[in-house]
């Protein structure tokens, strides 16, 4: 690395000196280098290195903006890629730094042209083509309707959710039949925005906003946060938010109890990072789970599972390092199901728990609720070969974080990623 990275020595306003116009100055200047975000950051927990913390990365962005580091600097390349983009640094930041937006600008600058990872190029090239997106999951039978109500509400079909988990949109429509779900809708562009093509990502969100006028309801936390950033909060509702809101107003949610082996099922939630950190939606899925089963709060539910969009494909080893303590927690919690609210998390946890031959099954929230409404899930879904439980995770998780911190003085953990908030439920 060609420049010393020390967030504590970088004064706000450094970006203004010789701006290259890569970052909006008002975003970059906001960081006061206090370090409150460090305990919340999963990559800092792994590396114990300031460069891999939010504060360190903002210092790197400032060095890029002022020309202290050039575009090809290997540390810039590595750190823009190593960051999960989970935005756990945002809710704990006293200065209101919008790190997720900074990262999008950073990657757009870093990953232009030849520097973009080839796999990211392939994936973004697939979902930009509407005719290809329409074919994703065609034979697996995701939800679809012929109608487009002028003011919605419309159910958005996430690109990969169509193909990988078509039952999620079917369950959503069983629960809320008023949601129309046109099959020819395009991609929201979150994949582009998070993978170095911010402008195209925003343009795709605007186009989807025109295709689906009025309220857009999504079952994918990452898509919800991206659409919200472009179209505005009033246009977008994540499914649990929508369901809780409608059920409170018309009392229409009628679900039974989910039972396993004659007892009430034990169900944990894995938060979606963007949903929780970007949209402050975390209470609603917990309320819905508690309506049909015993909700078990995982100690690290708010921390990233390592899926992080394309991260698990681009950096599989790091992704599994982030995932491992979460799988320990899930197995130690003695739950029957772990529920997700984002297809990336679903894929990540299904893969991780399968590799361990765990008995714990992964369901999207819509699938859990639809099963409760229908009188339960087929028992075979719980009959997998048992495997001895791994060592219990200490109660003071997340992820043994204190053990990973380097010797830099840190402020008290202000509640990493709002980890204490579920207690208020
Ligand atoms: S908490 Fe916010 S202001 Fe403080 S170092 Fe982190 S990003 Fe900067
Ligand atoms: S987005 Fe996540 S991984 Fe990246 S700096 Fe923030 S907390 Fe760390």
The string of pLDDT tens digits covering residues 345-386 is: 999 999 999 999 999 999 999 999 999 887 766 544 433 333
pLDDT at 249 > cutoff 90: no
**Do 222 and 334 have their domain in common?**
no
What is the pLDDT, as a whole number, of residue 374? 77
**Do 212 and 225 have their domain in common?**
yes
Most confidently predicted of 162-171, 241-250, 285-294: 285-294
Buried b (16+ CB within 10 A) or exposed e, 283-306: bbbbebbebbbbbbebbbbbbbbb
**Do 105 and 123 have their domain in common?**
no
Eight-class DSSP state of 180 = B
d(CA 51, CA 45): 12
Counted domains in the chain: 3
pLDDT at 50 > cutoff 70: yes
Share of the chain above pLDDT 90, in %: 58
What is the pLDDT, as a whole number, of residue 1? 43
Q: Which of 8, 33, 96, 277 to mutate to test the pocket of ligand 1 (most atoms within 8 A of CB)?
A: 33
Distance from residue 53's CA to the centre of ligand 1 (Å): 10
What is the pLDDT, as a whole number, of residue 256? 84
Residue 416 in any domain: the answer is no
**Do 302 and 362 have their domain in common?**
yes
**Do 281 and 338 have their domain in common?**
yes
What is the pLDDT, as a whole number, of residue 150? 77
pLDDT in tens, 251-271: 666 778 899 989 999 999 999
Q: Which of 89, 90, 277 to mutate to test the pocket of ligand 1 (most atoms within 8 A of CB)?
A: 89
Q: Is 95 in the pocket of ligand 1 (CB under 6 A)?
A: yes
Task: Estimate the crossing angle of helix 316-332 against helix 343-355, to 10 degrees.
Answer: 70
d(CA 61, CA 79): 10
Residue 365: count of CB within 10 angstroms of its CB: 26
**Do 246 and 286 have their domain in common?**
no
**Do 285 and 327 have their domain in common?**
yes
Per the CB < 8 A criterion, the answer to whether 328 and 351 are in contact is no
pLDDT in tens, 72-122: 899 999 999 999 999 999 999 999 999 999 999 999 888 876 667 777 777
Residue 419 in any domain: the answer is no
- Work out the pLDDT band at 134, boundaries 50, 70, 90: low
Q: Is 384 in the pocket of ligand 1 (CB under 6 A)?
A: no
Q: Whose CA is nearest to atom 2 of ligand 1?
A: 93
pLDDT at 153 > cutoff 50: yes
Distance from residue 100's CA to the centre of ligand 2 (Å): 8
Distance from residue 251's CA to the centre of ligand 2 (Å): 39
Residues 6+ apart with CB under 8 A from 199: 108
* pLDDT, the chain, mean: 82
pLDDT at 17 > cutoff 80: no
Residue 414 in any domain: the answer is no
Eight-class DSSP state of 407 = S
Answer with the residue of higher pLDDT: 134 or 294. Answer: 294
**Do 344 and 375 have their domain in common?**
yes
Answer with the residue of higher pLDDT: 193 or 274. Answer: 274
Estimate the share of the chain in helix, then strand, then coil, as percent rounded to the nearest 5: 50, 5, 40
What is the pLDDT, as a whole number, of residue 182? 87
Write out the residue range of the structural domain in which residue 368 sits: 259-408
Which residues lie with the beta carbon below 6 Å from any ligand 2 atom? 40-43, 54, 57, 83-89, 99
CATH number at residue 48: 1.10.1060.10
**Do 150 and 274 have their domain in common?**
no
**Do 72 and 32 have their domain in common?**
yes
Residues 6+ apart with CB under 8 A from 137: 162, 163, 164, 166
Distance from residue 80's CA to the centre of ligand 2 (Å): 10
Q: Which of 42, 43, 322 to mutate to test the pocket of ligand 2 (most atoms within 8 A of CB)?
A: 43
Q: Whose CA is nearest to atom 3 of ligand 1?
A: 31
Average pLDDT, stretch 396-408? 27
Pick from 30-39, 182-191, 229-238, 321-330: least confident: 182-191
């Amino acid at each position: 690395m060609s420049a010393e990275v020390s967030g504590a020595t970088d004064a706000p306003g450094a970006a203004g000196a010789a701006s290259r116009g890569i970052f909006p100055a008002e975003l970059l200047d906001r960081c006061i280098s206090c370090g409150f975000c460090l305990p919340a950051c999963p990559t800092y927990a792994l590396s114990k290195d300031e460069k891999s913390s939010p504060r360190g990365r903002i210092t790197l962005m400032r060095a890029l903006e002022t020309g202290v580091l050039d575009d090809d600097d290997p540390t810039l390349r590595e750190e823009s890629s190593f960051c999960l983009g989970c935005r756990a640094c945002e809710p704990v930041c006293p200065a209101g730094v919008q790190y997720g937006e900074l990262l999008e600008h950073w990657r757009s600058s870093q990953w232009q042209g030849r520097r973009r990872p080839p796999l990211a190029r392939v994936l973004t090239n697939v979902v930009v083509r509407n005719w290809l997106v329409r074919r994703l999951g065609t034979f697996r039978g995701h939800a679809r309707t012929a109608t487009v109500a002028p003011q919605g509400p419309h159910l958005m079909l996430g690109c990969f959710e169509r193909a990988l988990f078509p039952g999620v949109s079917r369950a959503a429509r069983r629960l809320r039949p008023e949601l129309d779900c046109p099959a020819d809708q395009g991609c929201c562009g979150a994949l582009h925005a998070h993978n170095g093509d911010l402008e195209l990502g925003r343009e795709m969100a605007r186009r989807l906003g025109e295709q689906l006028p009025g309220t857009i309801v999504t079952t994918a936390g990452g898509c919800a946060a991206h659409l919200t950033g472009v179209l505005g909060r009033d246009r977008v509702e994540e499914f649990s938010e929508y369901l809780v809101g409608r059920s409170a107003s018309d009392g229409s949610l009628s679900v039974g109890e989910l039972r396993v082996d004659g007892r009430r099922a034990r169900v944990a939630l894995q938060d979606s990072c963007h949903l929780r950190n970007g949209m402050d939606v975390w209470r609603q899925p917990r309320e819905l789970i508690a309506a049909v089963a015993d909700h078990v709060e995982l100690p690290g539910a708010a921390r990233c599972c390592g899926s992080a969009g394309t991260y698990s494909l681009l950096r599989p080893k790091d992704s599994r390092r982030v995932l491992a303590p979460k799988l320990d927690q899930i197995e130690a919690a003695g739950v029957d199901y772990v529920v997700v609210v984002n297809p990336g998390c679903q894929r990540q946890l299904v893969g991780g728990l399968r590799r361990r031959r765990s008995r714990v099954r992964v369901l999207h929230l819509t699938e859990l609720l639809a099963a409760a409404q229908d009188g339960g899930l087929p028992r075979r879904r719980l009959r997998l070969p048992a495997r001895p439980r791994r060592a219990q995770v200490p109660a003071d998780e997340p992820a043994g974080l204190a053990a990973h911190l380097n010797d830099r003085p840190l402020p008290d953990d202000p509640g990493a990623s709002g980890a204490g908030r579920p207690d208020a439920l």
